Amino acid sequence: MNLRWSVLFFAALMAPGITAQQMPSQPSASGLAPGEVTNGVYKNDFFGFSYRIRYGWVDRTDEMREASTDPSKATVLLGIFERPPQAAGDTANSSVVIAAESISSYPGLKSATQYFGPIREVTEAKGMKAVNEPYEFPVDGKPIVRQDFIKQIRGVGMHQSTLAMLLRGYVLSFTFIGSSDEEVQGMIEWLRFGKPAKSAKNSSKSPKS
């Protein structure tokens, strides 16, 4: 994510929330198909992926989209949180933010690995520390690059993993935040390419389980 997406993401953590079941996704002004949520599963046919949403999570997608200054260049596809962002808790507020940005916004960008330069700069400015270099992390055979970060807040660990790929003229990024590496990995496993993720109605298991 570049600077604007980082700001949007962390600002959303402090904003009031609504549940994913209360508000459907609205069309994007850019003409880029924003995808839709059906039976607890977000599906985006343009990019060919789906993501299963944990029942009861807070959906801030529309508010995050509205904050974009140029939706033709960048838009949030999905922004969800475990609990209302303003609610205090003893653990990190588990979160998933999926965004698409035009490759034209990054002159000279040839690979997803290069995209992690601005990601790392902005993420570390927020106090997150990179624990590794970007590495290949295919999902359903798709060429995806991943980097992991961590931050301690009052003794509580906040773990972040960001995945990125170049697809159809866009940088497609997936950012996951949780209280542990295991929780983050569990959330990543709900991402699917080429086949739908299982409906949340068919499974109540949390990534924290």
Dist. CA 84–CA 93, nearest whole Å = 9
- Give the model confidence (pLDDT) of 133-191 as tens digits: 999 999 999 999 999 999 987 777 889 999 999 999 999 999 999 999 999 999 999 99
Asked if residue 12 has pLDDT above 70, the reply is no
Asked if residue 13 has pLDDT above 50, the reply is no
Over residues 21-35, mean pLDDT:
55
* Chain position carrying tokens 């995945």: 163
Over residues 65-85, mean pLDDT:
80
**Burial class of 101 by CB neighbour count within 10 A (0 to 12, 13 to 18, 19+):** buried
SS3 98: strand
**Per-residue confidence (pLDDT) for residue 96, from 0 to 100:** 95
User: Is the Cβ–Cβ distance between 170 and 112 less than 8 Å?
Assistant: no
Provide CB contacts within 8 A for 91, sequence distance 6+. Answer: 156, 179
Q: Nearest CA to 79 among 161, 13, 147, 3?
A: 13
Rg, Å, the chain Cα set: 16
Asked if residue 112 has pLDDT above 60, the reply is yes
**Per-residue confidence (pLDDT) for residue 105, from 0 to 100:** 87
Dist. CA 64–CA 12, nearest whole Å = 7
Structural domains of the chain, ranges and CATH numbers in brackets: 3-24+40-202 (3.40.1000.10)
Asked if residue 208 has pLDDT above 90, the reply is no
Over residues 120-137, mean pLDDT:
90
Quote the pTM value.
0.80
- Written as one string, the DSSP assignment of 105-143 is GSTT--SHHHHHHHHHHHHHHTT-EE-S--EE--BTTB-
